Amino acid sequence: MSFRKIAVLGAGNGGCAIAADLTLRGYEIRLFSRTESRLIPIAKRGGIELVENGATKFATPYFVSPHLPPVVNGVDLIIIAAPSVAHEYLAKNLADYLIDGQRILLTPGHTGGSLHFAKLLGSFGCRAEVMLCETVTLTYICRMPEPARVEVYRRTTNLRCAAFPGKHTHGLVKEIQEIFPNVIAADSVLETGLSNINAIMHPAGMLGNAGWIESTGGDFLYYREGITPSISAWIEEVDRERLEIVRLLGLKPVRFVDIFHQAGLTSEDARASGSIYRAIKESEPNKTIKS
Amino acid sequence: MSFRKIAVLGAGNGGCAIAADLTLRGYEIRLFSRTESRLIPIAKRGGIELVENGATKFATPYFVSPHLPPVVNGVDLIIIAAPSVAHEYLAKNLADYLIDGQRILLTPGHTGGSLHFAKLLGSFGCRAEVMLCETVTLTYICRMPEPARVEVYRRTTNLRCAAFPGKHTHGLVKEIQEIFPNVIAADSVLETGLSNINAIMHPAGMLGNAGWIESTGGDFLYYREGITPSISAWIEEVDRERLEIVRLLGLKPVRFVDIFHQAGLTSEDARASGSIYRAIKESEPNKTIKS
């Protein structure tokens, strides 16, 4: 086992799923969130309930804390499962505590996450030789219907992962595969960054449903009801631009529907049709997810 | 009476309200729509039901037709109550039939309607000396809950009207006031065009509710539920740009909330608060209008 002690930074859907699943699989997990109110229900219940395939398991992480230094102290791997707006805060507060050889995995990397994070660490004076890598999206399709309880609908498949600098990709991906067997190596963080279909799908879905979300508090099925033919056409246009950038960078263009299918999120029929609307409509793991 | 024979082009909410109301008030109305399916229910019922202030009246226009020439032949006034995308079709098909002295009222003018229409008439070879004018918005806040039946929630107040060229404004507005007493003179079509709050309010409302509209077929209250705080903030930004243009053109800047209040669409309290969200939320005439 390359990793034993793991820090998970972020206690949202993704972070809690990772913390619970890895705990259940024998890893020593420290869970951090700067939002204390997220940790209190976990501390009160003594852990996180993980629901998957109809089975409920209870995981008690090694510890949870709103303080970063004890969470990252001496861990082999730091998993950042936080939105990119948290990168600056995390890099600033990690810079003095990181040590040579620690691995950092951004999951998801968002678009340009590793590049951003490496730059931030440097700007905050971090001199430790850490190794950075990122995945395209989350390792689990999941939601927290209530605090300290996470429901996993699907483990993402063929999840691309790349390191920055790229020379570390081969070694890091092999290590990461021990804890996330669903991860595969990408050519570079350009590939992972530009395969981020969340960045392609979600802005149109959010902007084009802003009134609905605000008026109902998000009480409708985001993918099933919110991604209508017009919203899909809008996503299609954004994807067309992404593919153009991919081509100009000399990378291999892979359409939204193909990435979505590779990730295990839609049917082969929908992929073959090329229709983004159908791909999202026929997404089994996303079907109960609200806005 | 300056006008007796009037053509109404367009059989949507606005056109049907005008045709019915003016018929009831003794004018000889010819109603045109290029969409024959709009006219069939009117022809079948023998007219249009007009509901206002709890009273239902029945109006039988002089005739309805999907053919333009007989509709405009010999009329004093042509009222265009159609979306601006219909201008090209109408100008092209009117160009040969217009005669000197006919008046054309665009209601609403949309933004730049008279300028656009004058240009189109010229480009289609019209040499008749017609006089063009436009109002900022519709003369009635109304909806058709079913074909051949129009419900009027409010007659717009202080409805600005201007002619192109501007030298005709004084005379034309006086004439228009005979049929629409709620009309007042504006300085120019720049003023009417840039007071068009539909152009400010509706794009954000439509784009920001695109998914909701498409998913439910518009079955929610457009103004009450669809114009949320975020959508209002978006409208506010668009209004800020409009006011900047108004200032740069040396016109008098009048805020969205003030125009909305002048039109009789919201409370004095909402106007005084300056909040677009409140102004729309407290719009009595708009409160039952669906998307």
B210–A209 C-beta distance less than 8 A? yes
A229–B211 C-beta distance less than 8 A? no
Which of A166, A192, A218 finishes a domain? A192
**Same structural domain, B108 and B53:** yes
Give Cα B202 to chain centroid, integer Å.
14
**Same structural domain, B91 and B121:** yes
What would the pLDDT profile of B87-123 be if each residue is shown by its tens digit?
999 999 999 999 999 999 999 999 999 999 999 999 9
Instruction: Report the candidate in A151, A248, A144, A241 with the shortest Cα–Cα distance to residue A190.
Output: A248
The partner residue sitting opposite A228, judged by closest CB among B207, B211, B225, is B211
**Same structural domain, A110 and A236:** no
Whether A287 is covered by a domain: the verdict is no
What would the pLDDT profile of B50-67 be if each residue is shown by its tens digit?
999 999 999 999 999 999
Which residue is closest to A203 within chain B, CA to CA?
B208
Whether B252 is covered by a domain: the verdict is yes
B228–A210 C-beta distance less than 8 A? yes
Q: What is the CATH number of the domain that holds A125?
A: 3.40.50.720
Query: What total number of domains does chain B contain?
Result: 2
Q: How close A280 comes to chain B (CA, Å)?
A: 14
Mean predicted confidence (pLDDT) in A21-45: 96
**Same structural domain, B31 and B158:** yes
> Rounded to an integer, what distance in angstroms lies between the CA atom of residue A208 and that of residue B141?
26
Whether B179 is covered by a domain: the verdict is yes
Interface of B with A in 231-250 (CB under 8 A): 231, 234
B209–A210 C-beta distance less than 8 A? yes
**Same structural domain, A185 and A242:** no
- What proportion of chain B, given as a percentage, has pLDDT over 70? 100
A209–B225 C-beta distance less than 8 A? no
**Same structural domain, A179 and A269:** no
pLDDT band at A1 (very low <50, low <70, confident <90, very high): low
Which residues of chain A lie closer than 8 angstroms to B229, CB-CB? Answer: 214
B214–A211 C-beta distance less than 8 A? no
What would the pLDDT profile of B206-246 be if each residue is shown by its tens digit?
999 999 999 999 999 999 999 999 999 999 999 999 999 99
According to DSSP, residue A113 is labeled H
Query: Which distant-in-sequence residues (6+ apart) come within 8 Å of B241 by Cβ?
Result: none
**Same structural domain, B164 and B212:** no
Q: How close B258 comes to chain A (CA, Å)?
A: 24
pLDDT at B269: 96
pLDDT at B2: 80
Domain of B252?
197-281
Whether A268 is covered by a domain: the verdict is yes
The answer to whether A229 contacts chain B (CB < 8 Å) is: yes
pLDDT at A126: 97
**A131-A132-A135-A139 Cα dihedral, nearest 10 degrees:** 60
Query: By the 8 A CB rule, do B162 and B187 touch?
Result: yes
Mean predicted confidence (pLDDT) in B26-51: 97
B215–A226 C-beta distance less than 8 A? yes
ipTM of the complex: 0.80
> Rounded to an integer, what distance in angstroms lies between the CA atom of residue A159 and that of residue B286?
49
Interface of A with B in 170-209 (CB under 8 A): 205, 207-209
Q: Within 13 A of B246's CA, how many CA atoms are on the CB side?
A: 22
A230–B210 C-beta distance less than 8 A? yes
**Same structural domain, B187 and B203:** no
pLDDT at A2: 80
Q: How close B146 comes to chain A (CA, Å)?
A: 26
B215–A230 C-beta distance less than 8 A? no
Interface of A with B in 124-143 (CB under 8 A): none
**Same structural domain, A171 and A41:** yes
User: How do strand A55-59 and strand A48-52 relate by DSSP bridges?
Assistant: antiparallel
Instruction: Tell me which of A209, A213, A215 to substitute to probe the interface with B (most B C-beta atoms closer than 10 Å).
Output: A215
Instruction: Tell me which of B201, B209, B227 to substitute to probe the interface with A (most A C-beta atoms closer than 10 Å).
Output: B209
B230: its two tokens: 């975020």
Which residue is closest to A208 within chain B, CA to CA?
B208
SS3 at position B173: helix
**Same structural domain, B141 and B230:** no
Whether B286 is covered by a domain: the verdict is no
Whether B287 is covered by a domain: the verdict is no
**Same structural domain, A178 and A202:** no
pLDDT at A263: 85
Whether B113 is covered by a domain: the verdict is yes
- Answer whether residue B126 shows pLDDT above 80: yes
Q: Exposure pattern of B150-173 as b/e (b: 16+ CB <10 Å)?
A: bbbbbbbeebbbbbbebebbeebb
Which of A149, A172, A192 finishes a domain? A192
Q: How many CB atoms lie within 10 A of CB B187?
A: 13
A204: its two tokens: 């149109």
Element (H, E) at B159: strand B159-164
Whether B53 is covered by a domain: the verdict is yes
- What proportion of chain A, given as a percentage, has pLDDT over 70? 100
**Same structural domain, B126 and B250:** no
Q: How many CB atoms lie within 10 A of CB B109?
A: 30
- Answer whether residue B200 shows pLDDT above 90: yes
The answer to whether B227 contacts chain A (CB < 8 Å) is: yes
pLDDT at A228: 98
Which of B192, B217, B240 finishes a domain? B192
B209–A211 C-beta distance less than 8 A? yes
What would the pLDDT profile of A171-191 be if each residue is shown by its tens digit?
999 999 999 999 999 999 999
Name A35's bridge partners. Answer: none
- Answer whether residue B1 shows pLDDT above 90: no
What would the pLDDT profile of A54-66 be if each residue is shown by its tens digit?
999 999 999 999 9
